Amino acid sequence: MPSIAEIREEIRAAEMLSDYEAVDVLWVALVKIANTQSGKNEHQRMINLVNSLPEAPLAVILNSAATNRLLDLDPPLETVLVDPNEMLYQDRTAEAIREVRDKKDNDPHSAMLTFGDILKRIRNKRAHGFKSRKGPRDAEILSAAREVLLSLCKTVLK
């Protein structure tokens, strides 16, 4: 298992990468941090990590400009098919966006866990070739996701 110092170095290195590359590096760094938590699988360890954080910094991230850019994207996330092999989760993502908006101030832990599912989907679409380095919509999504992931990693490591 990588040390916290090694994870911090990966996060610092991600700050010098393009949004396209940084999203993947920051997601993996967050998973590595979560793997320091107890839990039977990665998903449970990520839940435990988010639930271990104070509410105030989560609310700040959930109310950030970057988060709002993802929540307010037009057309919304998961509504634009970029490849015939891509799967869209339109209804599930729309419901998640509503839940994040509804809970970000009064239940930041639940809102962040839901928002984490959205971030994971963005990262996975990037990792599986459904995001490009140059597409304007992709650039908008990846830039915002990068900011949120960086803020989350820094919050976790405070």
In this predicted model, what pLDDT tens digit does every residue of 55-68 receive, in sequence order?
999 999 999 999 99
Residue 56's pLDDT is 97
Would the pTM of this model clear 0.85, i.e. be above it?
A: yes
Q: Distance between CA atoms of 25 and 100, rounded to whole angstroms? A: 24
3-state SS, the chain, equals: CCCHHHHHHHHHHHCCCCHHHHHHHHHHHHHHHHCCCCCCCHHHHHHHHHHCCCHHHHHHHHCCHHHHHHHCCCCCCCCCCCCCCCCCCHHHHHHHHHHHHHHCCCCHHHHHHHHHHHHHHHHHHHHCCCCCCCCHHHHHHHHHHHHHHHHHHHHHCC
Q: What is the pLDDT of residue 135?
A: 87
**Residue range 103-126: average pLDDT?**
97
Identify the pLDDT of residue 134.
Answer: 83
Give the residue-averaged pLDDT of 130-135: 85
* Residue 62, pLDDT score: 98
Give pLDDT, residue 130. 84
| Percentage of residues in the chain having pLDDT higher than 70 | 100
* List of residues 6+ apart from 38 with CB closer than 8 A: 45, 48
**Could you tell me if 152 and 30 are in contact, meaning their C-beta atoms sit under 8 angstroms apart?**
yes
CB 87 within 8 A of CB 24: no
Instruction: Name the token pair of 108.
Output: 């930041």
Q: What is the pLDDT of residue 83?
A: 85
